[in-house]
Amino acid sequence: MSVLQELQEAVGRVARDVGPSVVGLGRGWGFGSGIVTGEGSILTNAHNLRRDEVTVTFADGREATGRVAGVDADGDLAVISVETGPAPPVKWSENGTEPVVGTPVFALANPGGRGLRTTFGLVSATGRSFRGPRGRRITGSIEHTAPLVRGSSGGPVVDESGRVLGINTIRLEGSLILALAADASLRERAEALA
């Protein structure tokens, strides 16, 4: 099997396995994407939300109205409470398996509920920092090359096994993406917000 065939199969497998856990927020070009983290909970970026309620579009096309359960504006995280139905929660990367430069990654999004996008890239840097929505410096981010369209923030970046390594947050020049690292701290904050 050629490298391109293996890559094609990997992208398809990640889309099939992780795609049902990725949701769209808003409508059309809408607000962004999010991930199902547990029954009744969607994790996304705080900058994706404009009000206390948001339309959530699931992979099967079902729409529901979600309410903001908690917001960490300094960390650019938010949790939405909504009936998740059969949508499965994502699988997190295991503690201590942080990506290194060159790690193959897959980025997923459902921008504004317009359908799943799955792209391939490589980790280009780790330990990056940026300013959050309120100007606070956020450290420890993952920079990767998997291209994403507008409305993709809040979607996951995963490894080849479909385990979440980060939450896509900012598009940089040169089509690079910064993702909040899905480390133990992020997961603890997400649980607290829920």
Per-residue pLDDT of the chain (194 residues; tens, 9 = 90+): 698 899 899 999 999 999 999 999 997 666 899 999 999 999 999 999 988 999 999 999 999 999 999 999 888 999 999 999 999 999 998 765 789 999 999 999 999 999 999 999 999 999 888 877 777 888 889 999 999 988 899 999 999 999 999 999 988 777 788 999 998 888 989 988 88
The catalytic residue among 21, 33, 41, 47 is 47
Is-catalytic flag, 2? no
Q: Among residues 21, 41, 93, 153, which one is catalytic?
A: 153
pLDDT of residue 134: 72
pLDDT of 168 reads 95
Indicate which residue of 21, 41, 76, 141 is catalytic: 76
Q: Is 47 a catalytic residue?
A: yes
Q: What pLDDT, on the 0 to 100 scale, is given for residue 96?
A: 58
DSSP the chain: --HHHHHHHHHHHHHHHHGGGEEEESSTT-SEEEEEEETTEEEE-GGG-SSSEEEEE-TTS-EEEEEEEEEETTTTEEEEE---TTPPPPEEPPTT----TT-EEEEEE-GGGS--EEEEEEEEEEEEEEE-TTS-EEEEEEEE-----TT-TT-EEE-TT-EEEEEEEEE-GGG-EEEEE--HHHHHHHHHH-
Whether 153 is catalytic: yes
